[in-house]
Structure formats: C-alpha cells, structure tokens
Structure 1
Amino acid sequence: MDPISAVLERVLEEVRPLDAGEVANYIPQLATADPDQLALAVVGPRGRVRSVGDDRVQFTIQSISKPFVLALALEERGLDAVLDHVGAEPSGEPFNAISLEDITGRPVNPMVNAGAIATTSLIEGTDVDDRTGRIVATLSAFAGRSLWIDESVYASESATGDRNRALAHLLRSHGIFEGPVDDTVESYFRQCSVLVSVRDLAVMSATLAFGGVNPVTGARVVSETSARHVLSVMSSCGMYDFSGEWLLRVGVPAKSGVSGGLLAVAPSQFGVAAFSPRLDEHGNSVRASAVVRTLSESFGMHLLDTHEGLGAPGVHVQANQGGGLRVTLGGELGFAGTERVAAVLRDLVGSASAGTPVIVDARELGRVHPGALSALRAEFDDMPEGFQLTQ
C-alpha cells in the first residue's frame, strides 16, 4: 500500500467505531443498505484514484447529483438565466423544506429539493428520456465512465415522491418552470437514482476541483466558470441546514446524499468522496462527514487557511548565457505575488551595472492571474531599458 493510501486507511479506521445515526428509510429501497459500509477515495491532479474500504460498493447518487445538474444548466443557459429560476442563498432549512422566496416563489438555492427540481426543469429535453439522457451523459463525463440508473430505486422514489411532486406543482404555479410537472419530477427522480461508487464520486469531485477538466480522462466537461459557480453554491448550501457550521469547521465545498455519500472539493488540490449509510439529523452521513473533517484538518484543506504561495511565487536569479541576468518565475503568480517579484527587480536595478540586460522568464509559472499579469507589466514601465518579459 502506498503512503497516501495508508493515511486514508488510518483515517477510515479512526472513524469506523462511530455508530450514531440511522439509514434513510423514507425511500424503501434505501432502507435495505448495510449500515456498516464505509469507504473513502481521493483523486489528485494526475488522475490517480486512491481508495480504501468498501470502495467498489455501488449506491445511488441521490442529492449529490444536484451540483452536476446545476453545472449542466449553467452550461446550457448561463448564470443569469439560471438565477431567474433559482436563487443562491443558504436556506437554513432541511433539504425537503418549502424554501421559496415570498414574492417570486423562486427556490432559495439549487441544493434543496425545490431548487434542484427547478434546475432539472432547465435542462433541455423533449421528454423524460431525452432530458434524463442528457443528465446521465453529463454525470458520466464527470465520473469518467458510463453510469446507469438503478431502476428499482427509481421506482421506489417515484412511488413515494409525493412531497417532491407537491413542490413541483407549487413551483409551476409561480411560473418557475413550464411544461408537464410529471416530466420534470420523473427526470429528477431518475437523476437521483444513478448508481455510483465512492471512486466515481471522487473523480467527479476532482473534475470540479480542477476547473471542469476530468483529471482521469483529460476531457473538459464544463467551463472553469461553471465549475467555480457550482463550488460557490456548494460552499454555502451543500450541507443543508448544517452548511454554515460545516464551512466553519471543515471549510470545503461539499455535497451530501441520503444514501450515505459525501463529496468534498479541495480546489486545485484534489477531490474527495466518502460513503457510509448512517445519517445524522441533517441528512448527512455521520461517518463520511467525520472522514472529510479529519482529512481537512490533516491536509490543510480549509478554504480560508493561509496560503503563502500566492504571495511568494518562486523567483530564481542567475547569470544569462548570452550575458546579463535571467529571473525565472515559478509556481502561481497572484496579485499579491507581484510585490515580491517587483521587489527583486528593484533590487536588481540598484545592484546591476547600468545597461545590464535582464530577462524575466515567466514560462514556468503554473498559473498567472490576469490582475497579477497587468500589475507585473506595469512594473516594467518603470524599469530601465534592457528589462524584458518572456511568457
């Protein structure tokens, strides 16, 4: 076992004794899950999937489908059109609450059921099969393999889904979506019934973590902008009425599902997924939540942790083969990082002989933010003749 997998195994064993919570029973098929199942998977930038525990067990994606259907809606409609139908504010209420704005009837966010149904209605499709096909194809692209629907779970969800149907009728009465209610609701039930493993969810998470590019297949699934929008909503709304405390304690965008899955994203670092069927009072997996919380503390995943690299990109000064000096930049150049680069250049101005050519080589930078590049170019306007920027 490689060192990273060994760490994952230790985390899993640390939380295994937790036995609080209950398996979801309001959908009959979910009530049959083995409550002792436990799994964890992570995927980094090179696309290697590391997983431990019951990592081959398949379960239905349930509400974890919501961020990915939102991503598809954003791709098809754009942010403004999506926001015309569903908001982006935390509800502070359970996932199945009637969380609608008083005047407009617009659902407060896409992560609660009402908002997810509205989002599903935005997906193009002439009927249930057409719309569902587009959704499943998108989920499959995020996972890097073909996914399919558990028909028995779908039938169980449809047979017991009166509350979701009522929410859909209420949404339609407010003009949030048009067309037959049943088409939208059945599409929603079917998207929730897609089968995944914890390994699939980790790949899906990593695709969001790396700006919409699947690190396993190398394919761009959605735009970087759409991925960022989705993560923003997940940060504040993904864990329902526990979202605020989750962000405080764990600090990563996450989404849970009532089958016991939990997906968390460390942007630009890795995707994480955990699975254990016992749920707490918020509908989030008890042990999967504990797993991700432990990883966040151990690996420094919190979004608001201090990251010195943005303010201190790599700067290496050496003699240039053709004469003069070469300044090689590495790492990531954020706006704050230009201060360090500018300080090095000013020191060179003060120490180098007049007329010494200086080449600033930015080709090894992993990422350059537009504001940082503009600031760096502005610095060159004040530099003596002979300073050159190579990108």
Structure 2
Amino acid sequence: MASLIGDPIERELVTLHERLKHDYRGETSASIPTLEHADHRLFGLAVCTPDGYVSAAGDADVEFSVQSISKAFTYALALSDRGLESVHEHVGAEPSGEAFSAISLEEETGRPDNPMINAGALVTCALVTGADAHEKYERIHALMEACAGRSLGFDETVYEEEQGASDRNRALAHFMRSAGSLTDEVDPTMEVYLKQCSVLVSTRDLAVMGATLATGGINPLTGDRVFSGTVARHVLTVMATCGMYDYSGEWLLTVGTPAKSGVSGGLITASPGQFGMGLFSPKLDARGNSVRGVAASQDLADRYELHALTLPGGNLPVVRESEERWPEYGAGVVAVQGDLVFASMRGVLSAIEDVLESSDRVLVLDLDRVTRVHQVGERILQGAIDRLEEHDHEVVIVDGARRGIVSGAVEVESLDEAREWCAAR
C-alpha cells in the first residue's frame, strides 16, 4: 500500500494484538511435550487479500506444527485425485458434534462423519493417490507448500513425539479398517497422517493458504492454480460446518466464516473472494481451539461484518441512470454499475426492456462502471443479448477495459465511440 496512508489493516491487527495479548485463559495441549511446553505468550495474526498483500501483527513469522489444519488440505488433494463422489463413499460431510478424537462412524456405512475429525482425516490420507506412504506424504507436503507459496519445513521432534502418543488414533484406524471405511493398511496410513501434522507453518503462511482457498484455488502470491474452484468450494463448505470440532456450530453462528483449527494453537479462516486469515496462540479452550484465535476472530467478525450470511447494505442501484435515447440513430442507452449478480439482473433486464419499448433497434449497454460480473450475471446478460439479436436488434457494449463480458455484440471503449458507431451505421 502507499506509504502515505500505510497499512490500515495492519494497524487494526496491531491494535487487536495489544488488546488480547494479555489474555492468558486456557491451557496448552498436553498431547505431546513440544505442544505442552510451547511459549504461551506467542500470539500472531495475519490477513492476506486476493491481490496477495499480507498484513500481519505480533508473532506472525514464528513457525509451529500445522497439526489438524493439514486436514483441510489433504481433503483438497483427495478430492482433486478422486472427485467428490468417490471420496464421499468413504467419508461423510456431516458435523459430528463430538470431540475431534471421538470414534464417530455412521452406523449404516461405517464412514467417519467428516474429514475434519481424526477418523475422517485418516481415511482421506488413505485416499490420496501414491505408490506408498512416502509418496502420499510428499504430495500432501507439496500441496501445502503450493498453497503457502514457499517451502515448508518439517518438525522431526514433533513427528517422533506424535508416534509415541498415537495409540488412540492407531486403534481408531484399526477399527475403521475392520469396518471397511479405511482402504489402506494401518501403519502406512498413520505415517502419512502424523507426518502431515508435523509440517511447519507460520501465521503468515496460514493467511496465504486461507487466501488460496478464498480465491478458488489460486495462490494470490504466485498466481499458480493449486486446485480447482470446485474443490476449494467443497473444502470451504466442510470447514464451515465441521472445522472447529464440537464448537463448529457456535463458530458458524458467531463468526460465520469457514475455519479450521489445530491443537498447536493455529487457526485458519477464509472468506470467499475477500481474504484468508491466520491466527496463532498456543493456549486452547476445552474444545481444543486457540483462545486468543477465537476471540480475535469474533472481534474482527463483529466489527467488520465478516459473517458469510451478513446482508450487504448500502449498494448503489445497478442501473446508474434513467434510460437515455438517441432517436436520431434509433438507439437507447442503459448504463449499469456495480456487481452483476443474480439479485441485480432483474433491474438490468427491466431497464433494457424499457429503453427498447419505443421500437429502438439499437441497444447501447454501458458496462464501464461494472466492477464484477458473477457467472450467473454473465449468463443472464448473454441470454438477453442473444434474444435481442434473434429479433434483429443490434447491441453495442461500452467497456473501457474491453473485458469481453458478453459475446456477439460490438464492443467499444466509450459512449462517444458508441455514438460514432451508431452514426456510421
């Protein structure tokens, strides 16, 4: 951002960091020594926007093991490899309402409830394509690196400690193996799962990884497509309903963005098309979520109306001006602005009908101030233009950026150029 105004997002994060850094509620995870003895004073926040700009505060560059946050990205890889239908033959998509380590399988199918609990994550590890455990883990690690936009390390100590504390997960894997939901052998599946949890990330990394999900699978730093927009949507959907363990429902109610937490104190959240956010603080609440991370997310959601179901307010009318006619050319002008989404298209179509009622044969559609065209808006607009041309109307699109929003119409850069075109007909 310009040095004159600095980074207002970062200033907000710094203020929030100062307000919450003395909140010492909760306990560090006692699952392994590295997590139990983590410095509880650490607290980092970071936000990454779709243009790749990262704002951060506090200990945003301190690395920690990714733990259960990795589940979201392993799920993305399994979906990319096998497709939704195949994956969901083995793991469901329903909130379990139980702790992350619970034995939560569907009675009829033997499937784990969802891929964000330990049972489901073990199954998705097995579903990742690879000749052996090493190849599967390397592919998961590579995908997380592609989402973060840099090389990510590996904590060998955490991995060794996890191996020594994995009896419950190993028993869970054996149980699912006997139920038929786990297709691979238990030992290689456990190796992949424990290794993926031991990858090192920072809060800044989590913000970029969240932004990769928020932008439909494209890393905003590198511009590389990591996975499809459909996969990103599936992952965000399950994160929204299942990502915060048995706090997921309350999280969706109070914060309202897809999220995934881990017992190291990391938390990732994303808002489609808007941002990815990473938070880190080792002390956890009774459900295994970062106390400061949840508090910071709630604060930001309240102050900036980040909830996914918040009704947008204050939008300008999509039709910028009342219809204008150029009778000397048999033309009518409709000027449009803002976002062309499903809800706004009826107004655009009505304005087009009104301006052509006088038997004008030429429609000049000024889209120069349209900021974004959603797919549904593009399809409805294209259908209207195709229909007009079938009835011998001509259409001129005004768009200074020449974005090619619709096909089959003349495209010019300004209203003056449109008028010249009409005069020359």
Q: State how far apart, in whole Å, the 1-side matches of 2:193 and 2:242 are.
A: 19
How many angstroms does 1:83 deviate by?
0.2
The one-letter amino acid of 1:180's match is E
The one-letter amino acid of 2:344's match is G
Indicate if the aligned counterparts of 1:158 and 1:189 stay in contact, CA closer than 8 A.
Answer: yes
SS at match of 2:33: coil
Indicate if the aligned counterparts of 1:64 and 1:257 stay in contact, CA closer than 8 A.
Answer: yes
Cα–Cα, structure 1 residues 94 and 337, in superposed 2: closer, same or farther, change >3 Å? Answer: same
The within-5 A match list for 1:1-391 is 2-307=7-312, 313=318, 315=320, 324-350=331-357, 354-355=359-360, 357-362=362-367, 365=370, 367-380=372-385, 381=387, 385-388=392-395, 390=397, 391=406
SS at match of 2:25: coil
Partner residue in 1 for 2:414: none
Deviation string 1:207-239 (CA, Å, 9 cap, x unpaired) is 000111111111111100000000000110001
Indicate if the aligned counterparts of 2:362 and 2:396 stay in contact, CA closer than 8 A.
Answer: no
Structure 1: gaps spanning 5 or more residues = none
Question: Which stretch shifts more, 340-349 or 189-198?
Answer: 340-349
Deviation string 1:285-336 (CA, Å, 9 cap, x unpaired) is 000111111111122210100125899546467789x964544544432222
Indicate if the aligned counterparts of 1:315 and 1:341 stay in contact, CA closer than 8 A.
Answer: no
SS at match of 2:47: strand
Q: State how far apart, in whole Å, the 1-side matches of 2:221 and 2:20 are.
A: 28
The one-letter amino acid of 2:49's match is G
Q: What is the TM-score normalised by the length of structure 2? A: 0.86
Q: State how far apart, in whole Å, the 2-side matches of 1:289 and 1:210 are.
A: 23
SS at match of 1:278: coil
Indicate if the aligned counterparts of 2:388 and 2:394 stay in contact, CA closer than 8 A.
Answer: no
Q: State how far apart, in whole Å, the 2-side matches of 1:200 and 1:144 are.
A: 8
How many angstroms does 1:60 deviate by?
0.4
The one-letter amino acid of 2:216's match is G
The one-letter amino acid of 1:3's match is P
* Bigger relative contact order, structure 1 or 2 (CA pairs below 8 A, ≥6 apart): 1
How many angstroms does 1:175 deviate by?
1.5
Q: State how far apart, in whole Å, the 1-side matches of 2:349 and 2:317 are.
A: 11
Q: State how far apart, in whole Å, the 1-side matches of 2:315 and 2:350 are.
A: 15
> What is the aligned-residue identity percentage?
48
Indicate if the aligned counterparts of 1:311 and 1:340 stay in contact, CA closer than 8 A.
Answer: no
Indicate if the aligned counterparts of 1:310 and 1:333 stay in contact, CA closer than 8 A.
Answer: no
Question: Which stretch shifts more, 330-339 or 213-222?
Answer: 330-339
How large is the Cα RMSD of the aligned pairs? 2.3
Indicate if the aligned counterparts of 1:360 and 1:387 stay in contact, CA closer than 8 A.
Answer: no
Structure 2: gaps spanning 5 or more residues = 1-5, 398-405, 407-425
Cα–Cα, structure 1 residues 21 and 228, in superposed 2: closer, same or farther, change >3 Å? Answer: same
Q: State how far apart, in whole Å, the 1-side matches of 2:306 and 2:193 are.
A: 32
Q: State how far apart, in whole Å, the 1-side matches of 2:378 and 2:314 are.
A: 16
Pair member with larger Rg: 2
Deviation string 1:334-377 (CA, Å, 9 cap, x unpaired) is 22211121232233235xx5436222255875554444344334
The one-letter amino acid of 1:215's match is P
Q: State how far apart, in whole Å, the 1-side matches of 2:159 and 2:337 are.
A: 50
How many angstroms does 1:113 deviate by?
0.3
The one-letter amino acid of 1:88's match is A
Q: State how far apart, in whole Å, the 2-side matches of 1:259 and 1:79 are.
A: 29
Q: State how far apart, in whole Å, the 1-side matches of 2:207 and 2:171 are.
A: 33
Cα–Cα, structure 1 residues 312 and 28, in superposed 2: closer, same or farther, change >3 Å? Answer: farther
SS at match of 1:109: coil
The one-letter amino acid of 2:274's match is Q
Question: Which stretch shifts more, 340-349 or 286-295?
Answer: 340-349
The one-letter amino acid of 1:112's match is I
The one-letter amino acid of 1:107's match is P
Q: State how far apart, in whole Å, the 2-side matches of 1:318 and 1:3 are.
A: 41
Q: State how far apart, in whole Å, the 1-side matches of 2:332 and 2:296 are.
A: 50
Q: What is the TM-score normalised by the length of structure 1? A: 0.93
The one-letter amino acid of 2:343's match is A
SS at match of 2:56: strand
Cα–Cα, structure 1 residues 186 and 341, in superposed 2: closer, same or farther, change >3 Å? Answer: same
Q: How many residues align?
A: 388
